Amino acid sequence: MTVAPGELRLHDAVRTFQLRGDRGRSLKELVLRRHADIPTVTALDHVSVAIDGGERVGIIGRNGAGKSSTLRVLAGIIPLHSGRAEAGGRVAALLELGAGFGREFSGRENIALSGALYGLSRAEVASRTDAIVAFSELGEFIEAPVKAYSAGMLVRLGFSIAAFLEPDVMLIDEVLAVGDAGFQRKCHDRLAERIAAGMTLVFVSHDADAIRFACDRVIVLDAGRVTFDGATEEALAFYNTSFEQGRPWTVRAAS
């Protein structure tokens, strides 16, 4: 069944990866090494999740729990080995600094490129470009190649493009933490506007306060499996209690 714009579905999703480190091996060792000797990690282990249009959902868990893999599957960046992933409408993903940008292209040229990738016409991109440039506060750097951008500048450009191309779904993986406090507040305000207009947000973060601010539902992952799915405060408490020995973070009382 086709999902409506803004809806996301994972059905019994399985995704594994093979660890291919150890680049110091000799050529002979690499040739003789058997495929079965390469360790396999299960990033998603039969995950089923349903997110409706307009929801604000956080995903939390320890490093390696499957959070980023979940977003990449939903964004269509990596395929599943089994199961099914569905995303309705236009999906914008902020997953890595500079991901999807042409490094030799200017910020302005990357706005046009990103718009085309999102399926917008030239006229639609042109009508949004001034707002994107203004929001990014990049000034004259908008004409410079993005290979010269700092991490903060990449965040400014990436978020501005994603937010003003008006996606049905926005997937965010930690990258906003790189921006300065003032720009983060602008991002939160813009997200609130888009959510009020019906956009779905899925947000991965290790920052409990950011999750509390942005999300009213939280999914907890551990070793590629969903261990909790519910209200934000309950999820944060569950996470902190479940991993108390590791002290992944301290959940502060809501103000």
Tens digits of residue pLDDT in 112-140: 999 998 888 999 999 999 999 999 999 99
By C-alpha distance, which of 234, 239, 240, 176 is closest to 203?
176
Give yes or no for a contact between 10 and 75, defined as CB atoms under 8 angstroms apart.
no
**For residue 187, what are its two tokens?**
């991002």
Q: Which pLDDT score, from 0 to 100, does residue 250 have?
A: 47
221 DSSP β-pair partners: 226
Whole-Å CA distances, 193 to 21, 84, 175, 190, 251: 43, 31, 20, 5, 27
pLDDT of residue 219: 97
**253 lies in a domain?**
no
Give the type of residue at 181: A
Residue 69, domain member (yes or no): yes
Name the residue type at position 20. R
pLDDT at position 1, please? Answer: 60
Residue 18 CB neighbours (<10 A): 9
C-alpha distances in Å from residue 158, one per residue of 33, 193, 207, 214, 230: 41, 18, 20, 19, 30
Considering the domain boundaries, does residue 254 fall inside one?
Answer: no
Cα 145 from chain centroid?
24
* Number of domains observed in the structure of the chain: 1
Q: Please list the ranges in the chain whose pLDDT falls under 50.
A: 250-255
Q: Do the domain assignments include residue 131? A: yes
Whether 128 maps to a domain, the answer reads: yes
Is 87 among the domain residues? Answer: yes
Burial 137-174 (b: 16+ CB within 10 A, else e): ebeebbeebbeebeeebbbbbbbbbbbbbbbbbbbbbb
pLDDT at 60: 95
Q: Cβ distance 57 to 51 under 8 Å? A: yes
- What are the structure tokens assigned to 130, written together? 């001034």
On whether residue 248 sits in a domain, the answer given is: no
Q: Where in the sequence is the domain holding 62, given as residue range(s)?
A: 8-242
CATH number for the domain spanning 36: value is 3.40.50.300
**247 lies in a domain?**
no
State the pLDDT at residue 97: 76
